[in-house]
Amino acid sequence: MTDVISYRTEKGEELKKLAKERNVSVSQLTNDIVNYYFEYFELRQKMGMFKGSSEMMSFCFSLISESDILKTTDLLSKVIAQYVKTTTNDFSLANLIKIILNYYDYNHFKFSEFDETDYIKIVCKNSMPKNWNTYAARGITKFFTDFGFTATEDSSEDGLHSYKISKQKSH
């Protein structure tokens, strides 16, 4: 059931203009905005995340070694898994992918999801260096593996990473 909520704002004209640009009602626009930020509010609260400078993060990742990247991927998969376990009991492939894609969306990364015969391929375009993309791809594939899905890093380079996740759980 949908609740009707009213509120006061000084952003009425801006909301009307944006709604017109997007060809939606002001009600739909504000609903979309609330849903968008609510998901990220929960994400930040449960994972203890903060939004920092991608330039600083890029610089820091450019300084770490391959062995350090491997150490950080274990931590990344653990943090994601703990977040998932504290926010849902739906460990389906679709829900796990949705959580990862929400993270990409939160960080304004471009991404594509490709439905292949036996697996799902995720490609993420971003402004981060190769080391960060290696960290992300390996940490996320380990996360899916920890939930029973075979996952492999497909590519990691400056500005892009991709991986494949089996549609069926491993036995």
The two three-digit tokens of residue 38, written as one number: 């609510």
Q: Is 145 domain-assigned?
A: yes
Output 71 or 167, whichever has higher pLDDT.
167
What confidence tens digit (pLDDT) does each residue in 29-60 have?
A: 888 778 777 766 776 666 665 566 788 888 88
**Length of the chain counted residue by residue:** 171
Question: Rounded to the nearest 10 degrees, how much is the dihedral formed by the CA atoms of 116, 83, 52, 132?
Answer: -40
Output 78 or 3, whichever has higher pLDDT.
78
Q: What's the rounded Cα separation, in Å, for the pair 68 and 76?
A: 12
Both 93 and 157 in one domain: the answer is yes
Both 157 and 138 in one domain: the answer is yes
CA angle 6-51-136, nearest 5°?
Answer: 120
| Domains in the chain, number | 2
pLDDT value at residue 171 = 66
Both 157 and 79 in one domain: the answer is yes
What confidence tens digit (pLDDT) does each residue in 85-141 have?
A: 888 899 999 999 998 998 888 788 999 999 999 999 999 999 999 999 999 999 999
pLDDT value at residue 20 = 92
pLDDT value at residue 117 = 92
pLDDT value at residue 43 = 64
Q: What's the rounded Cα separation, in Å, for the pair 148 and 73?
A: 17
Asked whether the beta carbons of 87 and 42 are under 8 A apart, the reply is yes
Both 43 and 106 in one domain: the answer is no
Output the CA torsion sign for 94, 97, 99, 104.
negative
Both 101 and 129 in one domain: the answer is yes
Specify the pTM.
Answer: 0.73
Both 64 and 42 in one domain: the answer is no
What confidence tens digit (pLDDT) does each residue in 4-26 have?
A: 778 788 888 888 898 898 898 88
Domain residue limits at 150: 54-169
